[in-house]
Amino acid sequence: MFRPSNHLILKEIKEKKLKNLLSTVTFFLFLPALIIMLWLFVKGSSALSLDFLFMDPIEGMTAGGIFPTIVGTFWLVIISVLVACPLGVIAAIYLSEYAKDNTLTRIIRLAILNLAGVPSIVHALFGLGAFVLFLKMGTSILAASLTLSVMNLPVIITSTLESLKAVPQSYREASWNVGASRLQTIRHIVLPNSIPGILTGVVFSVGRSAGETAAILFTGVAFYLPFLPQSVFDQCMSLSMHLFTISTQVVGVPDAYPYATALVLILLILSMNSLAVALRSYFRTRRKW
Amino acid sequence: MEIKLTETPPLTMEWRKKKGSKPTGERIIEALIKIAGVSSILLIGAILFFIVKESYPFLMGAFDFKEFFFSTEWYPASVVKIRYGILALLCGTVMVTVLSMLIAVPLGLACAFYISEFCGPRLREIYKILIEFLAAIPSVVWGFIAIMMINPAIIKLFNVPIGLNILNASIILALMSLPLIISVGEDALRAVPETYREAAEALGATKWEIATKVLLPAAKNGLMAASLLGVGRALGETMAVLMATGHSIQIPQSIFEPGRTLTATIAAELGESPKGGEHYQALFAIGLVLFCLSFIVNLTADLLIRGKRQ
């Protein structure tokens, strides 16, 4: 009969120990995220009310609500997605459907990678130099959103590229073989089959840009504005900037206020992310391949 | 090549030709697609161009290489003598980045190993969602957490007068770059062919042996790239570091002393500096330094990942 030698048993024990160690490490890495959420919720929920959401900040931002910051965040996010989404999707189509494996393609990939790695404050400098000063947009919602869309472009390209690549090559070949051109194939076969993945990536990027602060710091966001933005050439307030302001720059803010602001910001981003995760799992079950 | 052409039947040649002449509409659209395709090259070029453009007068004028990189005296608004030395800021950036990576890289890679090799598919899904969740917390919220939560904790634990210091920023940065390190590291481990594992298992290797003796060497480049991308993230982080480092321009003597980084300096001072002035241009020059640093880090990471694929 086969019996494990002592050596093997020792090995097994060692392995079990290792597995436990790794699982504890992993668990404790994610613990902070949960603790932070709980803690924000506990501290912030006391100030959270409909008034808080729908009132203007008053008395030097030490009282009132955060309504203009929410409106501003929506302006910024929506315009930046409207710009970045078509450009990013088309760029991904080029990379996935047209680009040959040559030097140009390699340079494009490198550019995307670097665009994703450029520090957000450098994006802010670019936005200031290019949109605010050179294109004379002034510090405005438009300049800030364009800066955000430059930041989001690589994210959208990468996620779109992944979902385009996931469409089986045989689909394309079948379409070509019945005489469809490249463009027709993209329009009627590739895009409809990859829309879910593209959508997921876009929704993720919406969440990301809602929380961005550094990139919009000098391009279009004001510390405090007594009125709501009327057009894209106005400045606006934003949730993320407001959190920075009331937690570092303003004295005499009641304790619960910044917590509640952080909570609103996180909940906004989380709802976006959950939407993306839900979309992804919903479409994954209905995928045809 | 020529032989092939003569071998092609005439009918196919005719068909090829016809296929080559696309309708003009389609041609225009495809040209537009190509323009969008190269947009990222144009954008990265534009970023470089505008940063150089704005900092050009400073680089040509008051810029002194030795003072800029080797002096700790950053007095852009001094009345007596204006000095632009970024050594202290550079040290702040390097210290914060290195310390945060010392925390994040071992933990992140251990975590990547666990998620990729040891845990079940269900648990993996849960962890992946948690990673996305952790990655979604914006930097300004991390900064807020640094001020409100880690600051008092450090004061209490280490009995130091101020909790906004290098250590605080490093902890925050470690938490921020963990999701990136874990997910890229996990991708690198998953990219190792299943046959490697099966072969090792058939030889009687335990999971631990597979991990250290098979996977680690095979995924070495990818894991290094994961760490480098983490470095890039830590290097470029602005708001969280601005809020957590405690804002004093000096070379920190210990991790409990406050410091300041390149990114935080730009964020803190750009609003106050008059547009087009020398101070303003000097800040753009710092931006140029940051751009170059991140370019080098990302390029190296990319080369490592590409090396792995070949």
N-term to C-term CA, chain A:
47
Answer whether residue B309 shows pLDDT above 80: no
Beta pairing, strands B83-84 & A63-64: unpaired
Domain assignment of residue B10, yes or no: yes
What are the DSSP calls for B62-110, one per residue? T--HHHHHH---EETT-SS--EE--HHHHHHHHHHHHHHHHHHHHHHHH
Per-residue confidence (pLDDT) for residue B274, from 0 to 100: 83
Q: Are residues B198 and B156 in the same domain?
A: yes
Give the structural domain span for B231. 87-309
The angle at the Cα of A204, spanning A115 to B236, to the nearest 5 degrees, equals 35
d(C-alpha A135, C-alpha A127), whole Å: 10
Domain assignment of residue B80, yes or no: no
For A82-113, b where at least 16 C-beta lie within 10 A, e where not — what string?
ebbbebbbbbbbbbbbebeeeeebeebbbbbb
Per-residue confidence (pLDDT) for residue B278, from 0 to 100: 86
Greater pLDDT, B85 or B307:
B85
Q: Mean pLDDT for chain A?
A: 86
How much is the pTM?
A: 0.87
Domain assignment of residue B134, yes or no: yes
Task: Say if the Cβ atoms of A130 and B129 lie within 8 Å.
Answer: no
Q: Which residues of A touch B267 (CB under 8 A)?
A: 121, 124, 214, 217
Q: Nearest Cβ partner of A183 from B30, B141, B149?
A: B30
Answer whether residue B13 shows pLDDT above 60: no
d(C-alpha A247, C-alpha A243), whole Å: 6
- How sure is the predictor about A217, in pLDDT bands with cuts at 50, 70 and 90? confident
Answer whether residue A1 shows pLDDT above 70: no
- Give the residue-averaged pLDDT of B250-278: 85
Domain assignment of residue B68, yes or no: no
- Give the residue-averaged pLDDT of B48-69: 86
Domains of chain A from N-terminus onward: 71-285 (1.10.3720.10)
Inter-CA distances, B89 with A48, B92, B93, B125, B289, Å: 39, 5, 6, 41, 12
Q: Are B130 and A35 in contact (CB under 8 A)?
A: no
Per-residue confidence (pLDDT) for residue B181, from 0 to 100: 92
Per-residue confidence (pLDDT) for residue B19, from 0 to 100: 54
> From the CA of B116, how many Å to the nearest CA of chain A?
11
Which tokens sit at B233? 């993230």
Domain assignment of residue B77, yes or no: no
Which amino acid does the sequence have at B94? V
Residue ending a domain, among B36, B55, B74, is B55
- Give the residue-averaged pLDDT of A269-285: 85
Task: Say if the Cβ atoms of A121 and B236 lie within 8 Å.
Answer: yes
Q: Are residues B111 and B15 in the same domain?
A: no
Greater pLDDT, A187 or A36:
A187
DSSP state of B260: -
Residue ending a domain, among B35, B55, B75, is B55
Q: Are residues B143 and B255 in the same domain?
A: yes
> From the CA of A232, how many Å to the nearest CA of chain B?
21
- How sure is the predictor about A153, in pLDDT bands with cuts at 50, 70 and 90? very high
Per-residue confidence (pLDDT) for residue B18, from 0 to 100: 56
Alpha helices in B237-277 (DSSP H): 239-244, 262-269
- How sure is the predictor about B308, in pLDDT bands with cuts at 50, 70 and 90? low
Q: Are residues B164 and B303 in the same domain?
A: yes
Domain assignment of residue B237, yes or no: yes
Contacts of B32 (CB under 8 A, 6+ apart): A90
Domain assignment of residue B75, yes or no: no
Q: Are residues B269 and B141 in the same domain?
A: yes
Task: Say if the Cβ atoms of A128 and B207 lie within 8 Å.
Answer: no
For A219, the closest chain B residue by CA position comes to B271
Answer whether residue A251 shows pLDDT above 70: yes
- In terms of Cβ atoms closer than 10 Å to its own Cβ (0-12, 13-18, 19+), residue B280 is buried
Q: Are residues B121 and B39 in the same domain?
A: no
- Tell me how many domains chain B contains: 2
| Rg, Å, chain A Cα set | 24
Q: Are residues B36 and B114 in the same domain?
A: no
Domain assignment of residue B205, yes or no: yes
Task: Say if the Cβ atoms of B127 and A26 lie within 8 Å.
Answer: yes
Q: Nearest Cβ partner of B294 from A25, A118, A247?
A: A118
Task: Say if the Cβ atoms of B137 and A266 lie within 8 Å.
Answer: yes
Q: Mean pLDDT for chain B?
A: 85
Which tokens sit at B232? 């890039």
Q: Are residues B18 and B150 in the same domain?
A: no
Tell which of A125, A148, A161 to mutate to test the B interface (max B CBs under 10 Å): A125
For B210, the closest chain A residue by CA position comes to A15
> From the CA of A266, how many Å to the nearest CA of chain B?
7
Answer whether residue A22 shows pLDDT above 80: yes
Q: Are A180 and A109 in contact (CB under 8 A)?
A: no
B92-102, pLDDT tens digit by residue? 899 999 999 99
Q: What's the CATH code of the domain at B101?
A: 1.10.3720.10
Q: Are residues B20 and B137 in the same domain?
A: no
Q: Are residues B109 and B241 in the same domain?
A: yes
Contacts of B223 (CB under 8 A, 6+ apart): B109, B112, B185, B188, B189, B216
Q: Nearest Cβ partner of B136 from A117, A134, A270?
A: A270
- Give the residue-averaged pLDDT of B185-212: 88
The angle at the Cα of B245, spanning B241 to B251, to the nearest 5 degrees, equals 120
- How sure is the predictor about B6, in pLDDT bands with cuts at 50, 70 and 90? very low
Q: Are residues B95 and B228 in the same domain?
A: yes
Per-residue confidence (pLDDT) for residue A145, from 0 to 100: 94
Q: Are residues B48 and B97 in the same domain?
A: no
Task: Say if the Cβ atoms of A154 and B40 lie within 8 Å.
Answer: yes
A109-127, pLDDT tens digit by residue? 889 988 988 999 999 999 9
Task: Say if the Cβ atoms of A129 and B137 lie within 8 Å.
Answer: no
Tell which of B144, B245, B294, B306 to mutate to test the A interface (max A CBs under 10 Å): B144
- How sure is the predictor about B108, in pLDDT bands with cuts at 50, 70 and 90? very high
